[in-house]
Structure 1
């Protein structure tokens, strides 16, 4: 007998195991091929994990493979091990990882590629004839990053290593990454670049530098185009892959450099199973390939900070003197003594000065214009949960904490003035734009998403996080951050570092290029000037933020001091709590259940993530077999 052991692409975790199928005499199949099989009365895809001549299943019960999907091997042995690692790391069925990693097949794409002479894999590999950038110019550009910067350059020239790079304020990051990509290509090694949004100037620069060696997956191309680009990378015709989080799995024969730009951006977190984070996949992939893994960001995520503390990645940072000289001018404005308004007098003055200088004035609105964060209508003091200090949300006359679930029948008295009247802290972008258009004579543009062009300066730009790109649209004379307090208290585990990351990204626009003789000003409106994130923004010191933040999180056992695992149930899991608590390793803590959008959620705080996932596995299989809808998220972004 010839037996193919197949990972069948079905969802339930209690079916997360290989199934044996007979290989017909007229079919040639090897490990790593994708196949069509019959499963539970329907035809589904599967990935061949291995071939053998024995099976524990009686021969009479074995079903034959229907057919192979393409003549090529979809997943090579080292890639299969990465898929298995991801399934274990994120507590997901292997089938879910396979579905994310592999595109849908289009036979016509294979036919056209064969006619062009570059399919199947091995038929052709495109070599680059471009010389590397001048080494003296690269060395000069990276000299500000000291010994670790030179170590990074040496690794890209033919070595390996994992790095976290914090660019100097105003650095031309797009040019630096394009140089690194060319340097890597010149050594006959391939490049992978992940960006969080489709309009990334960094990605544009790399694609332009690589020319026809690059495939660009940004914006979610059609399945047909995606499969063609996947085949180009599989066959070695493409040497550079650029895309968003889905590109983390794209095959490259000789990976030399894998870059995750803005590594802490929540857009890299997959919301569907396996709910992986693309940064983790790319760094692990580079490590296994003997390549350079490079995560880039001004404010490291909790995961990156933990890796830095454990010395599993090396920090590439400018000297503190250089950083102080280059940092933006950040002014903290508490609005004390002023009537409550969306923008303080200092903010309006900064915007007016910017447009008078024929530049942009930028206002960063809250992410969705949400009004869940409440402040006192009289004095502006933020209304905070007495248990965890998160923001409170109104439910009629009652209030509830969006962080830990604490509830009260009515709004608590203001800690500063005793009044119980509250109003939303943040206005949405459209409302802010409408208010500003009555104040300024120049155009006021509201940019709420990707791909929205800005009017030429002078103008006021009201932006949400989705419109904040790698580089400013032009000269920026002022940046106003009016909603920091609400953002800092969002009900997410990464609220503080994410707010600081976004604030620093926009603030850096005022010094972009480091060529302006009169850089702009940044006005940070806050009622909490002593918050570690505010202090780090002013000093331009993310390390100081994390040193202070870990002290706050230590008693709470929140990341990066512990791992978080979230369980999301379709029903109230209270009757299941006893079994869950009993199964978990000693020391694991359970918060909840908390209702959220028609579902119920538990948050687990754990020290040994693999041990906890292994302890939960029998319960999850039991729930799955009973058709109970339970979703697991390792290292979630949102608490609830």
Structure 2
């Protein structure tokens, strides 16, 4: 509950101490990182309080006192802390250090990062409501007696486990899809919890849709020993009460295991002993709004600071992690900072899918599926096996087009097309959300013959259902069923879990989906995966595009043939991955055919070394949003000129590129421009960015029409 503290007034002696408090101040307000408030009672750092800010009362965190005593400017009267959130222990020093590092490194206000990491309900609950939440959190059911089931590990799993048990790490667990990485995680969690009755483990997954499947597996393993309440989840899809309950369980130590998405890296723990980052390469770990932190990198920093072991796992590691885990050689006796652990074989002697490249230049014109691929899908479905068709574009078609006058379904607010969704006959912009009805005729010339261009998952689902309508699934003797899983079909609460359950139960024969079904899922009956249109990423201006494409295709192919016993029972036909491409000789596909991530990574790292790109250099983006593109670019140019004129620290090692529009230049009526900064020295780049903040703040009022500016340190998309 919130206890009242006597307000600071003339009755309180002038010597009443001032406390530094972190609060979420408006962005670019120029308000300091910490504000000073008077308190008649001493409060330890980490105490949650309510404080006045302007005309409002907001949540704050008492912070560590600076070396110099706090003072207020002449003529400024101090304001008093309004109350303390009683019943919640102060946030620990390790959590405060994490927040300070994240704010400093990602160039954001300390209060913004600290308050964003706390459950929103802490800001809104009345004292009596908070007291009820705390009472419920304190009356968790006791753990049921039992023991963790024993598991027979493969030789590769046993070797990885032995190294993790004996060494400090951090570790990069490089295991092929289906090699049993999750079992290694579970063993390490069990070991950590058994070694210390207060120990806690944090398991990060890239996306919400992966949480239920992993949660069920973790709960089945640990609930018999530690009870159901010992495992909690933390992700943005939870309701505010659910999120507060999980946060309190982690903060008090009642939760022994926390499973969550990137936001969970900021959870408050009583005693963190182990951090697992599954699918560590995934771009979803990078926050794209507010403080643009990378959860994987913060997990590594937090593990080092708190003495917790950190395990990064992936079948297609990020090139940054791959380089950081390089073994020592004669030319590089130090090697990388991580220990690389190999698990190249699938559990149960299962075979990785055979990759077959289909040259679209040799196929019938306008064919969506090559005849050989359609025949392979039909054959698999007839035997009762499942197929996965991957197309990373939702909707029916990317654009509607009038062939008479050239009109396209452009979004009126963005420099992008409205996507045609046939199911509800709508045009929707996937950038700003603007939606409209499909016109009966061309709005420009009246031509009634407007047609879709390109394909999305909705169109593929419809097309496949038509092609397979006469296919009978044996031995069930029923017609083949095609289903789709993407962001459109999973909007309703519980829809994703229901659809995944249908796939696992064998009620779906062909699953059409985007990248959300291409990674992490353990589909036991899928034996064929087909990627329909993957070529777009081959010629992207973003230097990370080939890495992301290779990872996506390899992860998608990994959904096939995961159950060796099932494959054998079906007749032993090897699992397959088909890739339809106009460029079958491209090096990305050549490496994919060999399932050779190390060779692909080596080639990519050689190119980046020669070009001076990450991980051999460090980058930051400064973005400006304005009513006009000229205003956005003028602001960035002026800020760069001011930095050069001031000879900011680190400038001699930082290269500032000219400002350019973003790939999608206008979103929701706002023009966007960006400036790339690059340096061979992380320290020089950080020193420059910290010193540049004041100049950026000073430059902003000079550019009428500028909406906002922001920094993105270590950007993942350019």
**Which among 155, 164, 177 is matched to residue 169 of structure 1?**
177
Alignment coverage as a number of residue pairs? 580
SS in structure 2 at match of 1:97: helix
Number of the residue aligned with 1:463 = 513
Number of the residue aligned with 1:112 = 132
Distance 1:368 1:96, change over 3 A: farther
Number of the residue aligned with 1:601 = 674
Matched residues in 2 for 1:256 and 1:75: separation? 17
Shift of 1:562: 2.0
Matched residues in 2 for 1:64 and 1:338: separation? 75
TM-score in terms of structure 1 length:
0.82
Q: Does 1:77 align with 2:93?
A: yes
**Could you give the per-residue CA deviations for residues 556-608 of structure 1, whole angstroms, max 9, x where no partner exists?**
43322322211110232235425416254435241532142221112223222
Q: Does 1:238 align with 2:255?
A: yes
Contact persistence 1:233–1:241 (CA under 8 A): yes
SS in structure 1 at match of 2:561: helix
SS in structure 2 at match of 1:561: coil
Distance 1:76 1:458, change over 3 A: closer
Task: Give the 5 Å matches for 1:431-470.
Answer: 431-441=459-469, 442-449=480-487, 451=496, 452-453=499-500, 454=502, 456-457=506-507, 459-470=509-520
Task: Give the 5 Å matches for 1:128-139.
Answer: 131=147, 134=150, 137=151
Distance 1:488 1:204, change over 3 A: farther
Number of the residue aligned with 1:577 = 637
Contact persistence 1:371–1:424 (CA under 8 A): yes
Task: Give the 5 Å matches for 1:155-554.
Answer: 155=167, 160-188=168-196, 189-200=199-210, 201-211=213-223, 212=228, 213-218=230-235, 220-309=237-326, 311-318=336-343, 326-340=351-365, 341-368=367-394, 427-441=455-469, 442-449=480-487, 451=496, 452-453=499-500, 454=502, 456-457=506-507, 459-490=509-540, 492-515=542-565, 516-517=567-568, 518=572, 519-554=574-609
Contact persistence 2:354–2:576 (CA under 8 A): yes
Number of the residue aligned with 2:9 = none
**Deviates further, 50-59 or 559-568:** 50-59
SS in structure 1 at match of 2:615: coil
Distance 1:163 1:235, change over 3 A: same
Shift of 1:41: 4.2
Shift of 1:196: 2.0
Question: Which of these two proteins has the greater Rg computed from alpha carbons?
Answer: 2
Matched residues in 2 for 1:577 and 1:323: separation? 59
SS in structure 2 at match of 1:358: coil
**Could you give the per-residue CA deviations for residues 438-497 of structure 1, whole angstroms, max 9, x where no partner exists?**
211222212113513445356221111123352244411211112221133445453222
Matched residues in 2 for 1:500 and 1:371: separation? 24
Distance 1:239 1:325, change over 3 A: closer
Matched residues in 2 for 1:257 and 1:361: separation? 37
Asked which structure has the greater RCO (Cα within 8 Å, sep 6+), the reply is 1
Matched residues in 2 for 1:282 and 1:261: separation? 12
Matched residues in 1 for 2:655 and 2:345: separation? 39
Matched residues in 2 for 1:169 and 1:567: separation? 37
Matched residues in 2 for 1:461 and 1:118: separation? 44
SS in structure 2 at match of 1:573: helix
**Deviates further, 526-535 or 322-331:** 322-331
Gaps of 5+ in 1: 374-392, 396-422
**Deviates further, 196-205 or 87-96:** 196-205
Distance 1:144 1:322, change over 3 A: same
Distance 1:230 1:279, change over 3 A: same
Number of the residue aligned with 1:564 = 619
Matched residues in 1 for 2:337 and 2:119: separation? 32
Matched residues in 2 for 1:231 and 1:321: separation? 39
RMSD across aligned C-alpha pairs, in angstroms? 3.3
Contact persistence 2:200–2:256 (CA under 8 A): yes
Matched residues in 2 for 1:564 and 1:600: separation? 16
**Could you give the per-residue CA deviations for residues 232-268 of structure 1, whole angstroms, max 9, x where no partner exists?**
1111111111111111111222222111111122222
Distance 1:575 1:22, change over 3 A: closer
Distance 1:614 1:491, change over 3 A: same
Contact persistence 2:107–2:711 (CA under 8 A): yes
Contact persistence 1:370–1:427 (CA under 8 A): yes
**Which among 18, 21, 26 is matched to residue 6 of structure 1?**
21
Shift of 1:151: 0.7
Shift of 1:523: 0.8
Number of the residue aligned with 2:408 = none
Matched residues in 2 for 1:40 and 1:131: separation? 55
Distance 1:356 1:472, change over 3 A: farther
Matched residues in 1 for 2:103 and 2:396: separation? 35
SS in structure 1 at match of 2:254: coil
Q: Does 1:631 align with 2:710?
A: yes
Matched residues in 1 for 2:158 and 2:235: separation? 33
**Could you give the per-residue CA deviations for residues 348-392 of structure 1, whole angstroms, max 9, x where no partner exists?**
12211211221112110124469889xxxxxxxxxxxxxxxxxxx
Distance 1:458 1:467, change over 3 A: closer
TM-score in terms of structure 2 length:
0.74
Shift of 1:4: 0.3
SS in structure 2 at match of 1:79: helix
Contact persistence 1:168–1:323 (CA under 8 A): no
Distance 1:154 1:636, change over 3 A: same
